[in-house]
């Protein structure tokens, strides 16, 4: 069974939910950035509105948060990954967390490379955004399933 008494350290919990907020914001508000980028691609001058700057800064915020999170996780440690009793499911959970961490770096870095360095990585940016959203839903569904169906209190580890 899961060990519901061990929790992630407060700063790690705060960063987890702040990251979710930032990603949701940038996912919902990306039109201005896409529009500005399209104009630049066509050689026209782009309208760098507050919305465009927000997309860039909130996205860079995600990169800062994940770097801080990795650093704090090393310093503060994490609660022992509780065994579910099924080795395959434990491996899937670990792979899911690793994939989410990788995408937390890839999404902002591809955006920055496209916007600031002019590299043609807009497609990869969009693909990685869609992937992180898809995985986050699966990850959230797994968490809710544990908490409410298996009643093992899993969500308390991250609250």
Binding-site ranges for ligand HEM (CB under 6 A): 16, 19-20, 23, 26-27, 30, 33-34, 37, 55-56, 59-60, 62, 73, 78, 93, 97, 100-101, 104, 107-108, 111-112, 114-115, 122, 125-126, 129, 136, 139-140, 143-144, 154-155, 157-158
**What's the rounded Cα separation, in Å, for the pair 159 and 29?**
27
Q: In sequence order, what E strands does 40-126 have? A: none
CA nearest to 131, candidates 94, 99, 108:
99
The token duo for 79 is 């609660």
- Please, what is the minimum distance in Å from the beta carbon of residue 57 to ligand HEM? 8
| Other Cβ atoms closer than 10 A to 33 | 25
What is the nearest approach in angstroms of ligand HEM to the Cβ of residue 124?
Answer: 9
Q: How far is the CB of 155 from ligand HEM (least distance, A)?
A: 5
Q: Which of 118, 94, 109, 82 is nearest to 8 (CA)?
A: 82
CB-wise, 51 or 78, nearer to ligand HEM? 78
- Please identify, using beta-carbon distances, which residue of 51 and 126 lies nearer to ligand HEM: 126
Question: Which residue of the chain is nearest ligand HEM when measured via CB?
Answer: 122
Cα(11)–Cα(15) distance, integer angstroms = 6
At closest approach, how far in Å is the CB of 139 from ligand HEM?
5
In the bound complex, what is the minimum distance in angstroms from residue 156's beta carbon to ligand HEM? 8
Rg, Å, the chain Cα set: 18
Neighbouring residues of 27: CB distance < 8 A, sequence distance ≥ 6 = 129, 133
């Amino acid at each position: 069974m899961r060990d519901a008494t061990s929790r992630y350290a407060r700063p790690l919990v705060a960063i987890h939910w702040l990251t979710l907020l930032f990603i949701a914001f940038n996912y919902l508000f990306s039109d201005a950035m896409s529009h500005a980028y399209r104009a630049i691609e066509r050689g026209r001058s782009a309208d760098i509105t507050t919305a465009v700057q927000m997309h860039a800064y909130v996205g860079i915020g995600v990169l800062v948060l994940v770097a801080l999170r990795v650093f704090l996780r090393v310093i503060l440690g994490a609660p022992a990954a509780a065994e579910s009793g099924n080795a395959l499911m434990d491996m899937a959970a670990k792979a899911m967390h690793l994939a989410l961490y990788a995408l937390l770096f890839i999404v902002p870095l591809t955006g920055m490379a496209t916007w600031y360095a002019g590299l043609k990585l807009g497609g990869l940016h969009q693909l990685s955004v869609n992937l992180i959203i898809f995985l986050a839903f699966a990850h959230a569904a797994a968490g809710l399933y544990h908490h409410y169906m298996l009643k093992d209190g899993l969500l308390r580890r991250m609250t």
